[in-house]
Chain A
Amino acid sequence: MTGLPLAPMARMAGRRLLYAVPVLLAVTFGVFAIAAASPFDPVKAYAGTAGFSASQEALDQLRDSLGADDPFVTRWWDWLTGVVTGDLGESTSMRQPVADVIGERIGWTVLLCAVAFAVAIVAGTLLGVLAARRRGGLLDRAVTSVAYALEAAPPFWLGLLAVWLFALQLDALPAGGLTDTGTDVVSFGQVAEHVLLPASVLAVSQMPWFVLYVRQGVGDALDEDPVRGARSRGLAERTVLLGHALRSGLLPVLTLIGTRVPELITGALLIETVFSWPGIAAATVEAATSVDFPLLAALTVLATAAVLLGNLLSDLLYGLADPRVGFDG
């Protein structure tokens, strides 16, 4: 890895970091504003079912104690000043500090997303290349039409379908959770078995984009001069396909990696809910419906950061793969 243009890459990362600050500020402010405008009442959400039998006095006390009547700008400012001093605040819906809520969940979400994303990229690329090799062939038509169908299918629907088929009908894989119901030990085998179904569903829901992009890129590249040249030099078809066509056909996929991150996160939220996966998704839903400002803001910052990082990563990769682009963005 010599000759890596580290300095321009670092400059680009630094610029993006500076740029991220106003974005994050605006996003958190927006989250507070939207949550405040939502019809959900933080007091009722906090009280839950106990709220139905709670006395008015208890509810008023709760409202006061939760600061539910403070204007959202005040709450945003309090939150922000807290965060600057390293205090993420306390989650009212989880009855825990926000840092704890996120700390004990994020690992599982990252695991789910990483596995799914890797599978989607690898399998998507593979299928895309196969489809591009003979455009209009049987395989191409099958792969393309399934990809379009899957592109239109919402992830939670795919999730329910997968639970129905693999867990209920075939009884081949567990329907949800991190480990078997009867056991507490989080062993590698247990987690691997339990992550398989949700990660596959998430991967399948992301794969169509990769398949179609790769198919298009590689297919176009196969028609270009360098490939024709390579063929005329008598290179093996395999070398032509992987060494020439795939190499230039992959460029759009690098961009895609960055732009799929938001989609991956929302997909993961739905998948986690369907599969009772103990990640941050359930917390996000709970935080939103409970108007749990500190938790909601922290989760939004995380999601925004993931999106910005995804973009940065794809720009860096693109710059590396195609030096003409450079690192000026």
Chain B
Amino acid sequence: MSVRGIRAAVSVTAAAAVLAGAAACSNPDADDDSGGSGGDGATAVIGVSTEPDTLSPLLGYGKDGNSKLFDGLLARTADMELRPALARALPEITDDGTTYTYKLRDGVTFSDGEPFTAADVVFTYETILDPGTNNPSKGDLEAVDSVEAEGDDTVVFRLKYPYAAFAERTVLPIAPEHAAGKGDVNTGPFNTEPIGTGPYVLDNWRKGEKLTFSANPGYWGGKPKVAKLTMAVIADDDIRATRLRSGDLDGAILPPNLAKTFAEDDDKQTVAATTFDHRAVTLPTDNPVTGDLAIRRALDVAVDRDAMVDKLLEGRGKAAYGPVPTDSEWFAQGTERPYDTARAEKILDDAGWRAGDGGIREKDGQRASFTLYYPSGDKLRQEHALAFAGDAKKVGIEAKVESGTWEVIEPRMGEDAVLAGGGSPADPDFDLYPMLNSELAGQGFNNMASYENPDVDTALAEGRESGDKAERKRAYDKVQQELTENPGYIFLTHIDHIYVVADTWRGLTTQVEPHEHGFGSGPWWNVESWQPAP
């Protein structure tokens, strides 16, 4: 090969490049049917911000229901009531709430044609609980002592202690033993090629780009009208909004400021979901400032929650006084705390926190100053942190706002405040217990403030174990009242989640949504029951 040879090679690649360019120019737009047209064989293309790590329920996919590919024993309605799914009826609860018996639906098959049986249920739960299974959410099933099949159509769960919220956990998707049992549970092919009983089957998953589903013709609940469903993974809010505007997407989750830009569009509807998704400032017990009762109570009334809802959330949210939002049936009426800086100042004055240098209060040589971290890149938490610090400053308390990655923040959670977020709506136990129980102080991200209150601990145990709803309500009312007396966290807002969807679909609903809102949330929580507009 000589230089002439090289030149020949260069001209070949040049020709190839030109051809590729020409092909791109002549690319026909024939398959440009992404707009969600009504009628049979309708398609829906949804823009989401994140994708799951795995599609295997054994590793935690879809644990809160609406997984599209799978069904749980139970499911939730739009009003968050439990309803039977793979079970024929709600469970029968015996032995003081420690035995749950589920009768299974007949004639259900997995998408590969194999029948669904009790063995699959036992397999799913036992595999998740197996120490060798890398499922970070297995703590959700901590109460389970044993799972047994009685015949082909009955499954019995025996619990270690009476756990009133257990039925809510059984929305967990069921994986087929014959398919998921093959290969390594942690890295096997089932993670990317799932088989379930759900309304959709997976066609294709190009990680980082999109997942495509098609309707499961043999679905026991009836074949979905939306025959083809695409979840496009677009992390950037602006790009998602643009692709929605260009018609590339039929629906997307958007922050309030971008959703607002679609308000005038006739062919788009905006759907807001109420949530349990709270933002709160942790007040670590071991920090001499944030652990001080007067400081806590003063901050609790010094923050202007309504202003945060108006300014930071554009009105799309609610003031939060605890993990339970004010419109929940579990909210303790009368625990709202009005914005009252005069009262905050009086609390501080009475406790001996006097104005010192630069308007920051002091007591016994201790400045009323602490550091507040927010996870870097999270604009909403940054805004909350700055608003909180501004309000605190007005009553003479300094919150030094800093950002960091979770690697930076985590070791400091014991002494420094963090702008935290969380919330799961199905049962008050899910948020309150890990957040406030003193035994869980400093364990992972549980009880980040190391909150310690024996009365709360007792009430949390009562709420967890009692099978009587009125009794549980009393217990959780007590917890929320204690939070007004000794606020270990300053709850700021509950955030609505905003979705913009093409007008081709009617009767869209949303569930009450958790902090983590992936595919299972949004108006597409029940895309299998969507009806095209006539």
Contacts and interface: CB of A to CB of B under 8 A. Distances in A.
List of 10 A-B pairs having minimum Cβ-Cβ separation, nearest first: A182-B34, A55-B139, A47-B136, A56-B443, A189-B27, A118-B13, A90-B187, A95-B191, A50-B136, A39-B407
16 contacts: A55-B138, A55-B446, A57-B139, A57-B142, A58-B139, A61-B138, A62-B136, A65-B133, A93-B53, A95-B59, A168-B239, A180-B32, A181-B230, A183-B31, A189-B28, A193-B27
A182 B230 contact: yes
A52 B139 contact: no
B134 A115 contact: no
Contact of B207 (A94, A97, A175): A94
Given A178-B206, A180-B31, A181-B45, A168 B242 contact: yes
B445 A181 contact: no
Given A53-B137, A182-B31, A317-B6, A119 B248 contact: no
B263 interface: no
Given A180-B32, A278-B206, A175 B137 contact: no
B243 A181 contact: yes
A196 B137 contact: no
A58 B249 CA distance: 38
A184 B204 contact: yes
A54 interface: yes
B16 A175 contact: no
A269 interface: no
Contact of B445 (A52, A64, A195): A52
Contacts of A92: 134, 186-187
Contacts of A118: 13-14, 16-17
Contacts of B208: 276, 278, 282
Given A55-B142, A59-B136, A96 B407 contact: no
Contacts of A44: 406-407, 410
Interface centre among B16, B17, B34 (most CB of A within 10 A): B17
A173 B1 CA distance: 39
B184 interface: yes
Nearest to A200: B21
Given A50-B137, A95-B59, A189-B27, A181 B54 contact: no
Given A58-B137, A192-B23, A247-B3, A183 B53 contact: no
B252 to A, nearest CB: 11
A182 B407 contact: no
Contact of A55 (B54, B212, B407, B444): B444
B20 A192 contact: yes
A58 B1 CA distance: 62
A122 interface: yes
A39 B28 CA distance: 49
B56 interface: yes
Interface in B200-241: 203-204, 206-210, 212, 230, 232-234, 239
A67 B210 CA distance: 31
A203 to B, nearest CB: 9
Contacts of A189: 23-24, 26-28
B137 A54 contact: yes
B267 interface: no
Contacts of A56: 440, 443-444, 446
A190 B233 CA distance: 18
Given A54-B137, A57-B139, A278-B207, 10 more contacts: A39-B405, A48-B53, A54-B445, A55-B142, A62-B136, A96-B187, A167-B242, A177-B209, A180-B32, A196-B24
Contacts of B434: 53, 55
A59 B516 CA distance: 19
Nearest to A175: B239
B5 interface: yes
A276 B434 CA distance: 37
Contacts of A41: 407, 410
A51 interface: yes
B78 interface: no
A46 interface: yes
Contacts of B135: 58
A62 B54 CA distance: 16
Given A54-B137, A278-B207, A190 B27 contact: yes
A58 to B, nearest CB: 4
A65 B446 CA distance: 21
Interface residues of A, number: 69
A163 interface: yes
Contacts of B207: 94, 278, 282-283
B380 interface: no
Contacts of B6: 250, 317, 321
A87 interface: no
Q: How large is the interface on B (under 10, 10 to 19, 20 to 34, 35 or more residues)?
A: 35 or more
Contacts of A62: 134, 136
Interface centre among B26, B444, B446 (most CB of A within 10 A): B444
B442 to A, nearest CB: 9
B23 A188 contact: yes
A171 interface: yes
Nearest to A282: B208
A108 to B, nearest CB: 9
A231 B131 CA distance: 81
A40 B136 contact: no
Contact of B2 (A52, A55, A190, A321): A321
B139 A54 contact: yes
Interface in A33-81: 39-41, 44, 46-59, 61-62, 64-66
B132 interface: yes
Interface string A113-126: 00100110110010
Contacts of B10: 121-122, 125
B15 to A, nearest CB: 10
B422 interface: yes
Interface centre among B60, B207, B230 (most CB of A within 10 A): B207
B29 to A, nearest CB: 9
Contacts of A46: 134, 136
A38 B406 CA distance: 13
Nearest to A1: B1
Contacts of B137: 50, 53-54, 58
Nearest to A167: B242
B444 A59 contact: yes
Nearest to A116: B17
A54 B136 contact: yes
B23 A175 contact: no
A184 B230 CA distance: 9
Contacts of B187: 90-92, 95-97
